C-alpha cells in the first residue's frame, strides 16, 4: 500500500476511555494516519481531537465509520460491553480492527465477531502485547532445546488486588491465558472452582461486573487446564492477596528448571536452572533472559520494542498486506476468552469441561 493506512479511533470517555493508549499509538507509525475520532462524550471528544491532531470528530462511531470509511478502526475502550457492536460495525464493511482487551464478555459474542471478520476478510488484532514479543520465540526455543527439561506445569496468577477473583480473571487473566496459549497451545479441558468468602458461587453471588464485563462472581478462583503435551496449566487469583512485588505473570515449570514471563512487548523473562525449583535448597540463581538467550545482553534496542502497541500495529499492517491472520488475531482472542469462560462453565457444571466449549452462552447467566 503506497498511501498511509487511514485509521479511525473509537473511544468512550467515562466508559473505558481510550484503554491503554490505543489512540495515540498510531502517531508513531509512519505508515498510518488518524483521520477521525469518535467519542460519545462531547468533552472527551474535544480533548481527543486536539490530542490526536484531527479535525473530524464524531459522537457516533457508526457515523464516523460511514462517512470516513477508514482502513483500520481502533476500538480503544477498556469496557467491553460495546466491543461486539463496534467490531461488527467495522467488520461488516471489511474494515480491519485493532481492539483493546478483553475481547468481549461471552463466547457467543466472540463467535459473532469472528464470523463477521471471516465473511468480509477483515483482519482483527487484539491488544495482548506479549503475544507479539520476540521473547515468545526465545522461550519456545529454550523449551525445545531442553533448558527446563520436560514441561510439567504452567503457573499463572492475576494481580490479586481489589479486583481479585472474577474481575481479575477477565481483566488481567486474559493476558496470562494468551501467554499460556502462545507457548503451550490451546487447552483440551478445564476444571475450576469459583468461590465467594470460601463457598462455591451460586446465582445469588452473580453481580453486574465492572467495566461492562456482564455477569460476574467470585472473590477467589482456582483453575486448571489440560494442555496438549500432557502438562497442566494453572491460574489462580484471590482478592486483596497480591504481593509487592506482584506475582502477576506466568511461570513455565519443567523437570530441570523454571522460566518466568511477565507482560509486555519486550517483557522481563527469568530462568532458574534448578530441578528442585528452590534456590534455598540448591543455591541456584535466577538469570535474565533476553531475546538472544539466557544471560545475553538484549540486542533489540529500537524504541519499537518498548512501545506497548508498536509490534502489534506493524504485524497487523503486514497481515493485511500478506493476506494472513495477525499473530494475535481473532482466533487467539477467542481462545483466551474461551479459557476464561470455561472457568465459569466448569463451576456451573461442577466438573471438568472439554474445550472447545459446547455451551456458547455466558455460564453465570445460567446458574440455577
* Domain containing residue 19: CATH number: 3.40.50.720
Shared domain check, 197 and 99: no
Which residues, 6+ apart, have CB-to-CB distance to 215 below 8 Å? 206, 207, 208, 209, 362, 364, 365
Question: 366 in a domain, yes or no?
Answer: no
Shared domain check, 162 and 260: yes
Shared domain check, 293 and 148: yes
Q: Which residues of 48-86 are buried (b: 16+ CB within 10 A; e: fewer)?
A: bbeebebeebbeebeebbeebebbbbbbbbbbbbbbbeb
Which residues, 6+ apart, have CB-to-CB distance to 308 below 8 Å? 20, 21, 25, 127, 129, 264, 265
Question: 363 in a domain, yes or no?
Answer: no
Question: 362 in a domain, yes or no?
Answer: no
- Dmax (CA) for the chain in angstroms is 66
Mean pLDDT across 146-153: 98
The sign of the CA dihedral 238, 240, 241, 242 is: positive
What's the pTM value of the predicted model, to 2 decimals? 0.97
Shared domain check, 303 and 225: yes
Shared domain check, 102 and 206: no
Specify the pLDDT at position 63: 98
Specify the pLDDT at position 224: 98
The answer to whether residue 2 scores a pLDDT higher than 80 is no
Question: 360 in a domain, yes or no?
Answer: no
Question: 320 in a domain, yes or no?
Answer: yes
Shared domain check, 45 and 151: no
Shared domain check, 264 and 220: yes
CB atoms within 10 A of CB 197: 10
Specify the pLDDT at position 1: 57
**CATH number, domain at 194?**
3.30.360.10
Specify the pLDDT at position 188: 98
Specify the pLDDT at position 120: 98
Shared domain check, 148 and 100: no
Question: 228 in a domain, yes or no?
Answer: yes
Mean pLDDT across 105-127: 98
Output the average pLDDT for the chain. Answer: 97
3-state secondary structure the chain: CCCCEEEEEEEECCCCECCCCCCHHHHHCCCEEEEEEEECCHHHHHHHHHHHCCCCEECCHHHHHHHHCCCEEEECCCCCCCHHHHHHHHHCCCCEEEECCCCCCCHHHHHHHHHHHHHHCCCEEECCHHHHCHHHHHHHHHHHCCCCCCEEEEEEECCCCCCCCHHHHHHCHHHHHHHHHHHHCCCCEEEEEEEECCEECCHHHCEEEHHHCEEECCCEEEEEEECCCCCEEEEEEECCCCCCCCCCEEEEEECCCEEEECCCCCCCEEEECCCCCCHHHHCCCCEEEECCEECCCCCCCCHHHHCCCHHHHHHHHHHHHHCCCCCCCHHHHHHHHHHHHHHHHHHHHCCCEECCCCCCCCHHHHCC
Based on the structure, what is the number of domains in the chain? 2
Shared domain check, 313 and 229: no
Note the pLDDT tens digit of each residue in 41-83: 999 999 999 999 999 999 999 999 999 999 999 999 999 999 9
Q: In what order do the strands lie in the sheet with 96-99?
A: 57-58, 32-39, 5-11, 72-75, 96-99, 124-126
Shared domain check, 296 and 152: yes
Mean pLDDT across 227-250: 97
The answer to whether residue 232 scores a pLDDT higher than 60 is yes
The answer to whether residue 251 scores a pLDDT higher than 70 is yes
Shared domain check, 177 and 268: yes
Note the pLDDT tens digit of each residue in 276-318: 999 999 999 999 999 999 999 999 999 999 999 999 999 999 9
The sign of the CA dihedral 178, 184, 186, 192 is: negative
Domain of 65?
A: 5-130+309-326
Shared domain check, 302 and 161: yes
Question: 173 in a domain, yes or no?
Answer: yes
Question: 186 in a domain, yes or no?
Answer: yes
Amino acid at each position: 500500500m503506497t498511501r498511509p493506512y487511514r485509521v479511525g479511533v473509537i473511544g468512550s470517555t467515562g466508559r473505558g476511555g481510550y484503554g491503554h493508549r490505543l489512540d495515540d499509538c498510531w502517531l508513531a507509525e509512519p505508515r498510518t494516519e488518524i483521520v477521525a475520532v469518535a467519542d460519545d462524550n462531547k468533552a472527551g471528544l474535544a480533548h481527543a481531537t486536539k490530542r490526536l491532531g484531527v479535525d473530524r470528530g464524531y459522537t457516533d462511531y457508526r457515523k464516523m465509520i460511514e462517512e470516513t470509511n477508514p482502513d483500520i478502526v481502533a476500538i480503544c475502550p477498556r469496557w467491553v460491553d460495546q466491543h461486539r457492536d463496534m467490531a461488527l460495525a467495522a467488520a461488516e464493511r471489511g474494515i480491519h480492527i485493532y481492539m483493546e482487551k478483553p475481547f468481549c464478555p461471552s463466547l457467543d459474542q466472540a463467535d459473532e465477531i469472528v464470523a463477521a471478520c471471516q465473511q468480509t476478510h477483515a483482519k482483527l488484532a487484539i491488544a495482548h502485547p506479549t503475544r507479539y514479543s520476540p521473547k515468545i520465540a526465545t522461550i519456545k526455543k529454550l523449551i525445545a532445546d531442553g533448558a527446563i527439561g520436560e514441561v510439567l506445569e504452567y503457573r499463572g496468577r492475576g494481580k490479586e488486588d481489589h479486583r481479585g477473583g472474577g474481575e481479575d480473571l477477565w481483566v488481567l487473566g486474559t493476558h496470562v491465558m494468551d501467554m499460556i496459549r502462545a507457548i503451550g497451545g490451546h487447552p483440551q479441558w478445564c476444571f475450576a472452582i469459583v468461590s465467594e468468602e470460601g463457598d462455591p458461587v451460586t446465582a445469588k453471588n452473580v453481580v453486574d461486573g465492572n467495566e461492562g464485563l456482564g455477569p460476574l462472581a467470585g472473590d477467589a478462583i482456582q483453575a486448571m487446564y489440560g494442555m496438549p503435551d500432557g502438562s497442566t496449566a494453572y491460574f489462580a487469583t484471590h482478592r486483596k492477596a497480591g504481593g509487592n512485588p506482584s506475582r502477576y505473570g506466568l511461570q513455565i515449570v519443567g523437570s530441570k528448571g523454571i522460566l518466568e514471563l511477565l507482560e509486555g512487548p519486550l517483557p522481563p523473562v527469568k530462568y532458574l536452572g534448578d530441578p528442585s525449583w528452590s534456590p534455598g535448597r540448591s543455591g541456584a540463581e535466577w538469570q535474565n533472559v533476553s531475546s538472544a538467550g539466557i544471560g545475553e545482553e538484549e540486542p533489540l534496542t529500537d524504541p519499537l520494542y518498548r512501545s506497548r502497541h508498536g509490534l502489534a500495529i506493524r504485524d497487523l499492517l503486514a497481515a493485511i498486506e500478506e493476506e494472513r491472520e495477525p499473530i494475535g488475531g481473532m482466533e487467539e482472542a477467542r481462545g483466551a476468552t474461551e479459557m476464561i469462560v470455561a472457568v465459569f462453565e466448569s463451576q456451573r457444571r461442577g466438573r471438568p469441561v472439554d474445550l472447545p466449549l459446547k455451551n456458547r452462552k455466558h455460564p453465570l447467566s445460567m446458574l440455577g
